[in-house]
Every structure is written in structure tokens, then in C-alpha cells.
Amino acid sequence: MNKENIESILHEKRIFFPSSEFSAAAHIPSKDNLHKIHSIANRDFEGFWATQAKTELTWHQDFTTVLDRSNPPFYGWFIDGTLNVSFNCIDRHLEAHGEKIAIISERESGEITTLTYRQLYQRVCRFANVLKSQGVSIGDRVIIYLPMISEAIIAMQACARIGAIHSVVFGGFSAQSLKDRIENTRAKLLITADGGYRGGKIVPLKATADIALAKGCPTIEQVIVLKCTNQSITIEQGRDIWWHEAEANAHDKCTPTWVNAEHPLFILYTSGSTGKPKGIQHSSAGYLLGTITTMKWVFDIRQEDIFWCTADVGWITGHSYVAYGPLAAGATIVIYEGAPSFPDGGRFWKICQDHKVSIFYTAPTAIRLFMKMGKEIPESYDLSRLRLLGSVGEPINPEAWIWYHQVIGRERCPIVDTWWQTETGVHMIAPVPGAIPTKPGSCTLPLPGICVAIVDEEGNPVTSPHEGGHLVITQPWPSMVRTIWGDKQSYYDIYWRKFEGKYYLAGDSAHLDEDGYFWILGRDDDILNVAGHRLGTMEIESALVAHPQVAEAAIIGRPDGIKGEAILAYITLKDIEPLDEEKQNLLIQELRIWVSHQIGPIARPDEIKFVDNLPKTRSGKIMRRLLRSISRGEIITQDISTLESESTLAQTPQSKS
């Protein structure tokens, strides 16, 4: 083994095959079928994507150039074609499916509303006309700061309809984060609400926006305010207008603005578990194409499906698999405004039951939360309509995967563990569920037309199984990030410089197994170096989570005079009852032996600390970077604006160790 590379120490051997019933009905029903699609893409890469773009998208003007490689790494796809994203998501379904339900929206209060494709069309057109009447036109930036309700999707689609570039800011972000994003995009207009509900409390969106605007944001000319909670807010005459008043007078038809394939559809700031938020800029045609193909390949979407992706539209998952992909595929989606455990831990399962959800897509952090609450809760709901489950956002620990499979999927539903990033736009490595068997903890194989490799520091492929390296993407792909908004240099430096423009650097470490399956080991920055062995965080964390008392685990390296780095584990337990010191010490011993047995003495934590919560980004990723600073007693100078709750920061250093 090359000592420069990362060692894989977890040996997960379980394998799950799709049922013949699932496969028979799937878009891609067998390994052979999938293999054929891959070989077409391998034989004629551009031809493959050209065919996909012609069959899946409705163009206003056809393209003749497939991939523009003239200025790498600033690639362009279908560059002389024109289309409109909102037309592709809505108008083209009207004739055949106008009365089909597009969106089922459940507020935290339990109030349910639905919109058919025709109603969605009218609302989007009206709101697009409102935006136009406020002087918004093609290329202008619009900030959307709304709760997870239908109007968030309407606002995004309305921007797309007139060629305005939206930037959605998650409703949980602070005034400072909102201000930073407004100023970086130089947005002209802000769309917000009086408030939204989360966990039984009102999130005061307009009041927060007022603070952001008072601090700066000179480019904002107008603020459109949606009435959502009815609490009193301040309206600034001449700047703020009510959504409902403006929409009431607007016409319900709005001709789409045909834009170039490469026209920016949106800017989205990354969740930033490793650094300063970056404005990821996506295109129109290539991005949309990626969302539709993955809806078919990975989610196997069908006309009769009820699709629920639990992500907020403030994240890329909520863009690709709530606001765009499912609608472009003509599906019915469910959206939910509130917290997963409000008013109790059964809320998600009640929603699945009530709305007959057939495809459910969530994050490992949510799955671990539900595991902690116990299987009795989901077991008391009718989840028989579920046919496919998905996971995204972090490596899913095998134990969480198995729980998801047994308790939620009732051993019937394939699980698609989807590896991708804000920057990739859509799934890159994920199971095609009717065609290939899955393994708990592996995101399986790259999708057709997606070229992925694992390479060492010099860029040479790492071929031997269980040896890890950098995950890179070796060919451009249609839904790829186009640049960092206003900062081409950082775009090159962060993603392309390491391999001199040849490969896109994902920033994750991974390894392949004997079957060529990909296993994500964690972020490159989080890799540990223990006595000359380079270890990923995921595998040690997974071993700990497999212990019956452990709910979540975060592994970091602490400088050590002898070993280089010592392994430090932060752990939250399933039992809420605090342990006395003696019991804690016994459990620490037990966990160290447990890890030794599970994966070997090299991975045994040197120190274990029990904490009430782990610091996470607001999209649920564990912030190991922050834990590292805390454990080293450093003053925290890094950007913590993406931290879910500052209280986790307060309790972590004084943790019971």
C-alpha cells in the first residue's frame, strides 16, 4: 500500500438486490440495460448528451454545438440553443396533464393546499408579471428568503420564466448571512414573508430582512412580502409591497423569455462546512437536463408517483429535486414547511401516510435522528405506498442504512444513496435502483455520461481496492457549476488548480471496492494521519454508530507527539439520561474495544467525549473543522454563520469527557 494514499478499514459485506417486481417496472430494468446506456455514453460522449438533451428538453431554438471546450475549465453545453426552464417545468405538461396535481403543500400547522399544473402555471405567470412590473428583467438578481411553501417554488419558477437569476437564502439564516448574499449578488429585489413556522415557533423573516437591509444592501430597490403568519411587521412605504396585492392585479399569462442554454438560472451559496460561502452559478439547459435524467435514472419517476424530497429550497437538493427536476418530469411533489419532529417524531411518517408518498428522499442526519427516537414511532404508520428511498448530504453509515431499509422501507424498497454536490448540480454517483444491487454505505457507481475517478496526489488513478484517494470528475458534464459568481479565479483555484485544469476536484476522499463500487471516506480536509496511516472519518464514525448506545459520532484528529495525530471521537448517545462518571468510563472502554473489533486497533479512538449535540451546518452536515478548532483550544475565527445552532458551540468545549 502506498503510504501517501488513504486506507480503507471498514469491510461492509452486505448486499441487497432489487426485487424482480421493482426491476420489471423500472425505467432501467436490468444490469444489461444499464450497461448498454453506459456503452453508448462511452462510445460517443457528446452524442449521448446531445440525444438526452433533444429528447428530454423542449427547445425554442435547437442547438448545434454540444460541448464548448474552447475555454477550459469554463465549459459550455448546447451553447447556441435557446429555451426556458419554467416552460419546460410547467407549460409543456399543460395539454396532457394540466389537471394533475403538481404540488401538495403541508404547513407546519397541518393546513394542506394543492396546486395542479394549470394552477401552478397561472400563479407563476402572475408572479412573473409582478416581477416585471417591478422592473426586474433578464439577468437581474432576485433574492428569495421564504419558508418552505408553494410560493417559494412559484417565486423561483417566476424568475426562471423571465430570465431573472434567483438566489435562494435558507429561511434559517441570519441577517448577516442574508446581507452578505444580497451584497455579493448585487440583487435588485428581495422576496420574503412576514414569517414562517418551524418547531412551533415563528421564524421572523421580514424582521430579519429589515435588519439586513438596514445594514447595507444598497442595490435592493423593492421588497415583496408574502403574508404567511399574519404577525405584525413593519412595511416601508415605497420599498415594500404585499405579494397578494400585487398578484391580484397581475395577468395570468406571461410569455416565457427565451434564454440561451448557458444563461445563469441561479446562484446558490454553498453550505460551507469547510469555509467561506461561495456563490455557485448554474446554467439553464445543462442544469435542467441533469435534473430530469436523474429523476428517471435514479428516482425511476413514474406518472403515478408521489415524490417527497424533504430538503428546503434553500439547498441544492431543494433546487434540483423539489423546484426543478420533479416538475420538469411532470411529477406530483409533496412539500412540508416545518420541523421533522413537530409536534412529535411521527410527523414525517404521518405525511408519508396521509399523502401516499411513494418516493422519499432525505438526509442521514434525519435518519439518525429518527433512529434515536425509536422504531416504534414509524412502525405505527402505514408506509405501504413507499417504493423507493433516497439519502443525500453525508455518507450514510451502514447501521443507519439498515435501519432505513428495515424500519422505513420494510425491507421492500431499494435505497438510493446519492453522491453529489451543490457544484455538480445533480446526482453523479448513485444506484440505478432497478438495475444494480446496493451495499449499505456505498453510493455505488457513476451514472451514464459521468466520468469519475479516484486519484493520488499526482493525479494517477488509484486502482487497488481499499486504497483511497481524491474523488475527481474527469470530463465536463451538463449540470456542472459554471463559475463562482464574480470570482473566476477562486473557481479555478478551488476546483481545478490541483490537477492543472485536467480534473474537477470534488474535495472528497473515496475508495473503490472489488466490484468498482465507490465508498466516500469523508472530506479531504478531514482525513487523519495516525502513525503514518491515513484514515477517513466515515469508517470510524460508522463503527461507532453501529454500537447500540451511540446515536451520532464525529471523528477528528488531534495533534499527537508520537502518532502524528490521535483519534478523538465526539459522541451523542441514544439515551437522554446522563451517565455518571463511572458508567461513562466503562462505556468509553467498551467503545474503544468495540472499534478495535469492528475495524482494527489502528482506528481505536484515543479519546472519547460525550456531548449533547454535534455542531452541524444548517443542512445537517457535521462541522468537523469546528470541532478541530475547539479541541485545539483555538479562538474560533472561522465563519460560523452556517452553524445550525450556536448552543452546540457553547456546550461542546465543556463536554463531559
Please give the annotated binding residues for ATP, written as ranges.
Answer: 393-395, 417-422, 508, 523, 534
619 interacts with ligand WTA by CB under 6 A: yes
Residue 393, interface with ligand WTA (CB under 6 A)?
yes
Pick from 316, 550, 551, 622: which binds ligand WTA (CB under 6 A)?
Answer: 316
Q: Is 321 in the site for ligand WTA (CB under 6 A)?
A: no
x/- mask, ligand WTA, residues 234-263, rule CB under 6 A, reads ------------------------------
442 is an interface residue for ligand WTA by CB under 6 A: no
Considering the rule CB under 6 A, would residue 417 count as an interface residue with ligand WTA? yes
What is the Cα–Cα distance from 513 to 527, expressed in whole angstroms? 19
CB-CB neighbours of 646 under 10 Å: 9
Contact 142, 191 (CB under 8 A): yes
Choosing from 108, 394, 399, 644, the residue that interacts with ligand WTA (CB under 6 A) is 394
- Find the part of the chain contacting ligand WTA (CB under 6 A) among 153-161, 188-196, 249-257, 388-396: 388-396
Strand 550-560, strand 222-226: pairing:
unpaired
Choose between 208 and 294: whose C-beta lies nearer to ligand WTA. 294
| Site stretch for ligand WTA (CB under 6 A), options 59-67, 79-87, 387-395, 565-573 | 387-395
With CB under 6 A as the contact rule, which of the stretches 6-14, 82-90, 148-156, 420-428 interacts with ligand WTA?
Answer: 420-428
- Kindly state whether residue 147 participates in binding ligand WTA, applying the rule CB under 6 A: no
Phi, psi of 603 (to 5 degrees): -95, 5
Query: What Rg value do the Cα atoms of the chain yield, rounded?
Result: 24
Q: Which of 426, 476, 418, 429 is nearest to 454 (CA)?
A: 429
- Asked if residues 570 and 556 have their Cβ atoms less than 8 Å apart, the reply is yes
642 binds ligand WTA (CB under 6 A): no
Q: Is 481 a binder of ligand WTA (CB under 6 A)?
A: no
Under a CB-based contact definition with an 8 Å cutoff, are residues 564 and 531 in contact?
A: yes
Cβ contacts of 281 within 8 Å, gap of 6 or more:
264, 266, 267, 481, 482, 483, 484, 485
Q: Across-strand partners of 259?
A: 83
Q: Are 219 and 43 in contact (CB under 8 A)?
A: no
Using CB under 6 A as the binding rule, the residues of this chain from 487 to 526 that contact ligand WTA are: 506-508, 520, 523
Out of 157, 184, 260, 418, point to the residue binding ligand WTA (CB under 6 A): 418
Among 52, 129, 422, 652, binds ligand WTA (CB under 6 A): 422
CB of 126 to ligand WTA, least distance (A): 32
What distance in Å separates the CA atoms of residue 377 and residue 341, rounded to the nearest whole number?
Answer: 11
CA distance 113 to 103: 8
Using CB under 6 A as the binding rule, whether residue 447 contacts ligand WTA is answered as: no
Roughly what angle, to the nearest 10 degrees, separates helices 45-56 and 285-297? 90
Give the pairing type, strands 518-523 and 528-530. Answer: unpaired
Residue closer to ligand WTA by CB (options 130, 472) is 472
CB of 19 vs ligand WTA, minimal distance in Å: 23
Q: Is the backbone of residue 94 left (phi > 0), alpha (psi -120 to 50) or beta? A: alpha
Which positions from 276 to 315 touch ligand WTA by CB under 6 A, shown as an x/- string?
----------------------------------------
Backbone phi, then psi, for 534, in 5-degree steps? -95, 120
Q: Which residues bind ligand WTA (CB under 6 A)?
A: 270-271, 316-317, 391-395, 417-422, 443, 506-508, 520, 523, 619
